[in-house]
Amino acid sequence: MMVNSFSQFESPVFLTIPLILLALILPWAFYPSRLHDDSSNRTLTLQNWFIGRFAKQLLASSTPKVHLWATLLVSLMLYIISLNLLGMLPYTFTPTTQLSMNMGLAVPLWLATVLVGFRNQPTLSLAHLLPEGTPTLLVPLLIIIETISLLIRPFALGVRLTANLTAGHLLIQLIATASLAFMWIMPAIATLTSILLLLLTLLEIAVAMIQAYVFVLLLSLYLQENS
Amino acid sequence: MPQLNPAPWFYILIFSWLVFILIIPHKVVAHTYPNPPTSKTTESPKTESWSWPW
């Protein structure tokens, strides 16, 4: 069994229990659906604001048919952003670094947007494969290119999220290891490396939120295009 | 790369979807809002000219 920098991404199993179950289930303790009475507190208010404003911002420019997807898209956003941000804590496992989970989310949801489009308005959905105003000679080539670009979308969605988070976690581990290794030999370099680590961690927190948003935004765009 | 090991793929898929379907929408929908969402109307509001002399 080779231990290398990628070992942090192995799906951990302890006494034959896959610990990804804990990583998937425990974050939702941070989101109480109600308190013991009907009052509210600061945390619930902030979550309320976030959910309402995000739903409004995502769906403001779309038709009422797209609004039927609001619960799904907001749940997806909450899911991904919580898992990403909790993964920034040291020694936690981030399920969204697993290609299986991201492809498992991306492929069915993308396919749903395509099938909704083809069922409700098949001509318009097929028409998306040819941009308006292309010269006649280029038409066959462009249809092939647009079909390929359509079929590659689920892979792009899944791999984008996986790669961004995996790369971020890997960089953090490498720079932290370097900082520790330098500490006894060249403390000045270790200090600089620690400052780099701090900046990188801030970047990764931003990336965690942005990638969640991009995932949901692209899905909503694919949906609007198809309905 | 351990993410490409296909052994845990099926149960990760099942558990992530189970959590996504069973747990989260209940918590999202529990947040209620006092006013229903409205779309913008095309009428602009009528404003009277300001009559206070400054």
Higher pLDDT, A134 or A149: A149
Please check whether residue B22 touches A, CB under 8 A: no
Please check whether residue B36 touches A, CB under 8 A: no
pLDDT grade for B41, boundaries at 50, 70 and 90: low
User: What is the rounded average pLDDT for all residues in chain A?
Assistant: 89
Rounded to whole angstroms, the Cα distance separating B36 from B16 reads 32
Residue B45: predicted pLDDT = 66
CA distances to A124, A148, A153, A164, A218 from A144, in Å: 17, 6, 15, 29, 22
Q: Is the pLDDT of residue A78 over 90?
A: yes
Query: Dihedrals φ, ψ of A83, to 5°?
Result: -65, -40
Looking at the complex, report in whole angstroms how far the Cα of residue B43 sits from the nearest Cα belonging to chain A.
Answer: 18
For residue A166, the chain B residues in CB contact (below 8 A) are: 3
Higher pLDDT, B35 or A76: A76
Specify the pTM: 0.88
Cβ <8 Å between A105 and B20: yes
Return the residue matching tokens 């969204």: A96
